[in-house]
Amino acid sequence: MIDAAPRLRFATLPERALIRLSGADWRSFLQGLITQDVETLEVGGMRYAALLSPQGRLLYDLFILAEEGGALLDAPATGREGLVARLRMYRLRAKVEIEPIEGEVAVLFGEAPVVEPGWRTDPRLAAIGWRSVGPAAPAGSARASAHDYDLHRLSHGVPDVVRDVLSDRVYALEANFDLLNAIDFRKGCFVGQETTSRMKRRSVVKSRMVPLRFDGAPPPAGAEVLSGALRAGVVSSGAEGIALGLMRLDRAVDADLSVDGQPVRLDVPDWLTDAVREAVAA
């Protein structure tokens, strides 16, 4: 009898890098900047957040892991230098040290009856799997690549800031950060709060990132999605048969869509269904 493929896969993510915050003021410093509440984050806990521009547009996404006396930030590797510089610019007189450190970010995905200590459920969406810093592969898991994990992410419709935010003009809610547990609207001030809160409370978000399905290779990033002759969206990251697109939902839902003459269709995940319906009904 041939054994079934392992249900649990392990991968490291070279596109992520680490920053350590330490010092007496690290919580109050970070609390006033990012979209997530860190004052109530317990040591050993992990939350997902974003650092926005003052206009409310996405700059960086962050996983915050609280430690004794500080926190680890799991951030995009390609933007780490810029993020460190921006955080230091905001530091002023706060008693906080901000230093890039070495270390690997690792993920587990697939089915697993038991997850070993040190792994935390992905705070964006439980179906994505688990996340940790620097562990060995758990016994019984199969080694996977970062590309395998990217396919897993795409299949659940979860955006990646580096791959899917193609300009500095995407708002956090358009990338579904409000639905992926990245924004605490009760926490008080953060950079970009005014625009973000107004979009959430006073209007329907009419454009959101949604998975697209098609046959064959993905369209290039930046390609227009058309509904007839009307522009319905733009493609961001993709792989064979699936991509994400920032879509104008009133034009895209129940429409015949195409990219460069190739038919594509929306594949709305369950966690996004209500927001899509709300946008279409508005």
Does the predicted model carry a pTM greater than 0.75? yes
SS3 content of the chain, % helix, strand, coil (to 5): 25, 35, 45
pLDDT digits (tens, 9 = 90+) for 18-58: 999 999 999 999 999 999 999 999 999 999 999 999 999 99
Q: Where are the domains of the chain?
A: 7-203, 204-282
Task: Judge whether 238 and 213 are in contact, CB under 8 Å.
Answer: no
Give, rounded to a whole angstrom, the gap between the first and last alpha carbons of the chain.
55
Give 112's pLDDT tier (boundaries 50, 70, 90): low
Name the class of domain 7-203.
Answer: alpha beta
37 — phi, psi (to 5°)? -80, 120
Q: What H or E segment, with its residue span, contains residue 227? A: strand 224-227
| CATH T-level assignment (fold) for domain 204-282 | Elongation Factor Tu (Ef-tu); domain 3 (2.40.30)
CA 12 to CA 177: how far, in whole Å?
A: 23
Task: Judge whether 153 and 244 are in contact, CB under 8 Å.
Answer: no
Mean pLDDT score across all residues of the chain? 92
CA 92 to CA 207: how far, in whole Å?
A: 36
pLDDT digits (tens, 9 = 90+) for 131-170: 999 888 888 889 999 999 999 999 999 999 999 987 778 9
Angstrom distances, CA of residue 142 to CA of 5, 13, 107, 138, 152: 8, 15, 12, 9, 15
pLDDT digits (tens, 9 = 90+) for 2-27: 344 458 899 999 999 999 999 999 99
